[in-house]
């Protein structure tokens, strides 16, 4: 079975774009407004007037953007960290540069050019570094390179562990034994054992990066426990409970949905969904994003795992045909997989993305400008003095007895006849 590097990149970008408009919605809200998802969604009907959250249908976010940048920058020696940081910090545009819909961890990376002072979990930031495996065949070298890149973006052990797991899964699928749909979970368990061993062998490097190898091993253990639980037959609801149980051990406030922006939730959920490819591969990504929450990351990581199995049926024609910036993405996809990328290609991509981000913002502003004001605004408008007096009089009259009302109406008639 041959694994297509092109399919991996396309799966990440299309899964990201499909989930972007639905991110932040509950699955009940999505089901009420979009009961049958079979293409990119315009979220406007579900926003309830909050058009500042509108996202262009078919437009990928920072997950797809960073994945393309990583693929173009990666070389046979790995991802040059200084070049990566320089590109990120010097991108033109707003406070977030060219990047769309970043979470708090990504935003800190864009603004500062180095890892933030906090350790927020982020399922979005674990995906792009994995594409370094497209160029690196050595497992130990890949581990060190992705470790350094991930540590420059976050200090959260679950984030770093997630990036290391995804990269090693991709490397193993490309250069050793690709997993089938039936043994995707066992493939993940083998990889977790591998990266755990690398962690023990590289404790000095990990300490130099101001990280604690024990915390990193603890994160791998959490991923392993979740994958073991997923290996047993069960429904989606039951598996979600088991994922949340492991996630809640790392949180102060417990959660009930495995679609929150946490790598320990999204990565296993994507694994479980992709392991059930036989059910209906064409609807895989639509099913993933319909679960809501961090739909962008869940769509991207689910597509990533499906591509590792050598599948392409989940990348339906409607997803590729109506993807925003399709021609450019497919062209860069070919450049990355053929290892012919240049700095000029990267600069062209960044310039194009700046324009797309600006265009999306302009369309959003236009929608905000022309949206109808809620009914409540009409009721709250200042009323003329006379109408206020009449309303007050009516209220007073309604509080009178029947006899008082009759007397008042009689006096009113006398006044009108005079």
Residue that wins the pLDDT comparison between 118 and 123: 123
Structure tokens at 233: 């037959």
Average pLDDT across the chain, whole number: 86
Q: Which pLDDT belongs to residue 277? A: 65
Q: Which pLDDT belongs to residue 93? A: 47
Residue that wins the pLDDT comparison between 5 and 164: 164
Residue 117, pLDDT above cutoff 60: no
Q: Rounded distance, CA 265 to CA 275, Å?
A: 16
Query: Percent of the chain beyond pLDDT 90?
Result: 56
Q: Which pLDDT belongs to residue 63? A: 96
Residue ranges covered by each domain of the chain: 5-370, 387-417
Gyration radius from the chain CA atoms: 27
CB 150 within 8 A of CB 163: yes
CA distances from 366 to 53, 324, 355, 370, 378 (A): 13, 19, 16, 6, 22
Q: Mean pLDDT across the stretch 307-321?
A: 91
Q: Which long-range contacts (CB under 8 A, 24 or more apart) does 36-44 make?
A: 37/286, 37/289, 37/290, 38/283, 38/286, 38/318, 39/318, 39/319, 39/322, 40/318, 40/319, 40/322, 40/323, 44/367
CA distances from 403 to 400, 410, 412, 415 (A): 8, 11, 14, 19
Structure tokens at 286: 């639509």
What is the reported pTM?
A: 0.85
CB-based burial, 380-393: b 16+ in 10 Å, e otherwise: eeeeeeeeeeeeee
Supply the DSSP symbol for 47: S
Q: Please determine, looking at this structure, whether the domain spanning 5-370 carries the CATH number 3.10.20.30.
A: no
Q: Taking Cα atoms as reference points, which of 146, 191, 149, 194 lies closest to residue 173?
A: 191
Q: Rounded distance, CA 335 to CA 9, Å?
A: 12
CB-based burial, 291-302: b 16+ in 10 Å, e otherwise: bbbbbbbbbbbb
Residues 6+ apart with CB under 8 A from 4: 307, 310, 312, 337
Q: In this structure, what is the dihedral angle of CA atoms 105, 126, 243, 226, given to the nearest 10 degrees? A: -140
Query: Percent of the chain beyond pLDDT 70?
Result: 85
CB-based burial, 62-76: b 16+ in 10 Å, e otherwise: bbbbbbbbbbbbbee
pLDDT in tens, 66-79: 999 998 888 777 77
Q: Rounded distance, CA 20 to CA 292, Å?
A: 10
Range with lowest mean pLDDT among 20-24, 54-58, 398-402: 398-402
Q: Mean pLDDT across the stretch 107-125?
A: 71
Q: How many residues does the chain have?
A: 418
pLDDT in tens, 329-373: 999 988 888 877 777 888 889 889 988 998 998 999 998 887 766
Structure tokens at 259: 């679609």
Question: 94: helix, coil or strand?
Answer: strand
Structure tokens at 71: 């693929």
Q: Which pLDDT belongs to residue 22? A: 96
CA atoms in the 13 A half-sphere facing the CB of 80 = 9
Residue 94, pLDDT above cutoff 80: no
Maximal C-alpha separation, the chain: 104
Question: 291: helix, coil or strand?
Answer: coil
């Amino acid at each position: 079975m041959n694994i297509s590097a092109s399919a991996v990149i396309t799966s990440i970008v299309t899964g990201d774009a499909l989930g972007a408009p639905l991110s932040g919605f509950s699955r009940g809200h999505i089901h009420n407004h979009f009961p049958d998802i079979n293409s990119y969604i315009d979220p406007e009907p579900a926003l309830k007037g909050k058009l500042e959250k509108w996202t262009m249908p078919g437009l990928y976010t920072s997950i797809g953007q960073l994945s393309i940048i990583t693929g173009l920058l990666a070389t046979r020696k790995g991802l040059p960290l200084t070049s990566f940081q320089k590109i990120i910090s010097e991108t033109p545009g707003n406070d977030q540069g060219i990047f769309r819909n970043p979470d708090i961890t990504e935003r800190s990376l864009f603004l500062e050019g180095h890892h933030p002072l906090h350790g927020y979990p982020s399922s979005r930031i674990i995906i792009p570094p994995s594409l370094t495996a497209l160029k690196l065949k050595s497992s130990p070298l890949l581990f060190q390179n992705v470790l350094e890149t991930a540590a420059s973006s976050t200090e959260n052990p679950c984030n770093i562990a997630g990036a290391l797991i995804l990269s090693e899964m991709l490397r193993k699928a490309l250069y050793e034994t690709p997993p089938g749909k039936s043994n995707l979970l066992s493939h993940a368990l083998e990889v977790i054992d591998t990266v755990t061993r690398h962690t023990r062998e590289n404790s000095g490097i990990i300490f130099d990066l101001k990280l604690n190898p024990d915390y990193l091993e603890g994160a791998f253990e959490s991923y392993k426990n979740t994958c073991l639980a997923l290996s047993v037959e069960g429904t989606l609801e039951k598996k979600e409970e088991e994922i949340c149980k492991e996630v809640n051990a790392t949180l102060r406030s417990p959660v009930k949905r495995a679609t929150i922006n946490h790598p320990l939730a999204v990565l296993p959920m994507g694994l479980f969904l992709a392991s059930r490819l036989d059910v209906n591969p064409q609807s895989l990504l639509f099913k993933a994003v319909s679960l809501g929450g961090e739909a962008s990351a869940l769509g991207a990581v689910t597509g990533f795992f499906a591509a590792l199995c050598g599948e392409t049926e989940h990348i339906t024609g409607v997803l590729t045909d109506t993807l925003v910036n399709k021609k450019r993405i497919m062209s860069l996809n070919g450049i990355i997989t053929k290892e012919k990328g240049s700095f000029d290609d990267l600069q062209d991509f960044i310039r194009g993305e700046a324009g797309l981000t600006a265009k999306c913002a302009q369309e959003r502003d236009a929608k905000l400008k022309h949206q109808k004001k809620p009914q409540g605004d009409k009721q709250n408008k200042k009323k003329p003095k006379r109408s206020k007096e009449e309303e007050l009089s009516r209220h007073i009259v309604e509080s009178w007895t029947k006899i008082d009302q009759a007397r008042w109406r009689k006096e009113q008639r006398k006044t009108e006849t005079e």
